[in-house]
Amino acid sequence: EKFRVTGGGNVGIGCAPSEKLHIYGAGPDVLLENSAGGAISYKIKTSNGSSVVREWHIGADNSPDSFLIRDQTAGANRLVISSAGLVGIGTSSFRSGGNLQIKANTSESAYLDIDSYNDLNAGLRLYENDVFKWQLYNDGDASDVYKIDSASGTAVAVTQAGLVGIG
């Protein structure tokens, strides 16, 4: 048996379905292809029975060529990955040289939150051609001192009290 529709409306391909759509097999790829060359997406909707509460689209667009997660209800792309590998959160307009761009809407500030586990460091490391150059971080084991390190050691340290050490 290759295809089954249960009395409850579940559809199974290669199996007896346990969900509304159940595909089973060795490498069960699913292909959606738009022969006209336009955008294509999976649509996910939540509703209260009579109206859509939230609608999301996950798919590809050819103008520009990108993968996206779109909040269709708000009419906004939430995550875009361009064919060049650029990533935009809250934006699909990429600046030259910006591989990751985060843009807040008009009524919010934009932050990148990095949260570590108990007494461990949280920060940002900078590399050039896979060679470590700088890191900016909260030193979790040293009374939460903020540090800027170069490849040769700590360049600046700032305590919670605002005391600054250089070198």
Residue-wise pLDDT tens digits, 99-116: 898 888 777 888 888 888
**SS3 helix, strand, coil % of the chain, rounded to 5?**
0, 45, 55
pLDDT of residue 135: 94
Q: In whole angstroms, what is the distance from residue 33 CA to residue 93 CA?
A: 25
pLDDT of residue 96: 78
pLDDT of residue 111: 84
pLDDT of residue 7: 93
Low-confidence stretches of the chain (pLDDT < 70) are 142
Tokens representing 97?
């040289």
For 66, counting Cβ atoms within 10 Å of its Cβ (0-12 exposed, 13-18 middle, 19+ buried), the class is buried
For 84, counting Cβ atoms within 10 Å of its Cβ (0-12 exposed, 13-18 middle, 19+ buried), the class is exposed
pLDDT of residue 40: 85
**The whole model's pTM is what?**
0.74
pLDDT of residue 95: 79
Residue with tokens 């996206």: 68
